[in-house]
A = this chain, B = another copy of it.
């Protein structure tokens, strides 16, 4: 029962259930938290990309923090996304997250503005200077259109600016560069999480400490099994679990060409949680395109084949 920042394990990015009127569905949100805790996860990450953070106004962000942190009540540490364009705006979110009791903050590189490695470093230094909470860097080029350079990350780790990394870049060689770099520089307390939910076994094999899997909303038990198998050295079991999850992950592609890939993936996660009885509505935030009935049926098939319904 601690609020220490997590350094390993399965830490799913918690979806944000919405009512049909697109308010935060707090009852569903607490059920989702229970579902994840019951699955054995080692922490929670709220207000990340899978939480639709880009679509949540500040009052919704605050509601999510209050509800989740109140409900979790210290059972596991809760990381909070502080996603905004640059440090001066991120710092405002950091203050709110700290007041709510988050165990750590997760921030991306600057976006909207064209950035530069020196500016990325200044950005994280400014965030860290403004908060007492540990700061995790979130590497997400698909959203922010720049890649966090390994040497910048390691330098910021050595300075004590960064407590860890969530790497959702899909660049496994880059991930390995950070893992080997921290070993070479004696920075073992710098925590490395992968957000690449389809290569978790190999990321752990390379030396990553944990995973932040969007699909973990749908099947947290499986990611915990995968992680625990790897921890005890049963890599074959880890791989089998990963391969099963790989197939389940196909549900993110059910959305047709009439929507963006984000609408499809987030819509599928929510449809799956709805079909599994965890949340009351599969509603996604505006301006995302909702899945239609045939697409939801495909989600159902994926769940059925994975024995999740």
Interfacial residues, chain A to chain B (CB-CB below 8 A): 22, 49, 54-58, 60, 83, 85-89, 91-92, 110-116, 118-123, 125-126, 142-145, 170-173, 176-177, 180, 196, 198-199, 201-202, 205-206, 235, 239, 243, 246-247, 257-263, 285-289
Contacts and interface: CB of A to CB of B under 8 A. Distances in A.
Contacts of A91: 57
Given A56-B88, A115-B260, A173-B199, 10 more contacts: A54-B85, A54-B111, A55-B89, A57-B91, A88-B285, A172-B196, A173-B196, A180-B246, A205-B205, A235-B235
A253 to B, nearest CB: 10
Contacts of A239: 205-206
Nearest to A260: B116
Contacts of A112: 49, 54, 83, 111, 143-144
Contacts of A60: 88
Nearest to A86: B55
A111 B114 contact: no
A160 to B, nearest CB: 18
Nearest to A126: B286
A212 to B, nearest CB: 15
Contact of A171 (B170, B201, B205, B257): B170
Contacts of A83: 112
A262 B173 CA distance: 18
Contacts of A172: 170, 172, 196, 198-199, 202
A287 B202 contact: no
A122 B286 contact: yes
Given A110-B54, A198-B173, A120 B287 contact: yes
A57 B286 CA distance: 23
Contacts of A49: 112-113
A157 B116 CA distance: 32
A92 B55 CA distance: 12
A113 B262 contact: yes
Contacts of A173: 170, 196, 198-199
23 contacts: A54-B86, A54-B113, A57-B91, A58-B92, A86-B286, A87-B287, A88-B286, A112-B144, A114-B261, A116-B258, A118-B258, A119-B263, A119-B288, A119-B289, A145-B145, A170-B170, A170-B173, A176-B198, A176-B246, A177-B246, A180-B246, A199-B206, A205-B235
